[in-house]
Amino acid sequence: DAKTTQPPSMDCAEGRAANLPCNHSTISGNEYVYWYRQIHSQGPQYIIHGLKNNETNEMASLIITEDRKSSTLILPHATLRDTAVYYCIVRVASDTGKLIFGQGTTLQVKP
Amino acid sequence: ETGVTQTPRHLVMGMTNKKSLKCEQHLGHNAMYWYKQSAKKPLELMFVYNFKEQTENNSVPSRFSPECPNSSHLFLHLHTLQPEDSALYLCASSQEPHSGANVLTFGAGSRLTVL
């Protein structure tokens, strides 16, 4: 599975959009991009995933560049409860279904 | 409540004890996973079970022994652990492990302290 690079930390003002970048320059054509988040001492929570097209759900939007080498997770109106570690993961369909987590980005939403 | 329930939430054990962590999923999923998260480290995949069969063992020491009696239940049996095994142990499940669009649902975790 391709590796991802994320900034270790970011700040965002409450009520503003939070844009979290992820670089996956070695991604293959059949690898999906996933985003999860982990609020302190809880289990990770699925946010969104995509293959080629931009995706939006009730939690966030995922923007994938045309060459698929990077993506951005957008939280449109960040709240204090969005403070968490955000993980960007790429994986290909496999026999085991495993997800490999990296260090992620710690997002601090400030009042 | 995610649909994946882990018990106990907190466990303290001595190095000579034998204990077990339990995970139960109410989502009708086919795959279950154990992850370990030590302080200030990323999640580490330990084991994967697909349709009750173990398909991944990420070089986990034998003092951790998983058991998957059916697709809804997963156990992690612990014996003669070391203090460095203290961590948050997370269970997850998913519907389509072979699919590229495989979404994992995690439990809240079991916080283990080894004295």
Which residues from A are below 8 Å from B5, CB to CB?
A: none
- Pick the residue of A49, A68, A85, A96 with the most B CBs within 10 A to test the interface with B by mutation: A96
pLDDT of residue A96: 67
pLDDT in tens, B3-19: 999 999 999 999 888 99
Q: For residue B50, is pLDDT > 60?
A: yes
What does the pLDDT average to over B34-62?
A: 91
Cα–Cα dist B114/B65, whole Å: 16
- Pick the residue of A99, A100, A106 with the most B CBs within 10 A to test the interface with B by mutation: A99
What lies within 8 Å, CB to CB, of A53 at 6+ separation is: A64
Q: Are A107 and A20 in contact (CB under 8 A)?
A: yes
pLDDT in tens, A13-72: 999 999 999 999 988 888 889 999 999 878 999 999 999 999 999 999 999 999 999 999
Chain A CA closest to residue B101:
A32
Instruction: Tell me: cis bond preceding B8? Omega within 30 of 0 counts.
Output: yes
Interface of A with B (CB under 8 A): 30-32, 34, 36, 41-46, 49, 51, 91-104
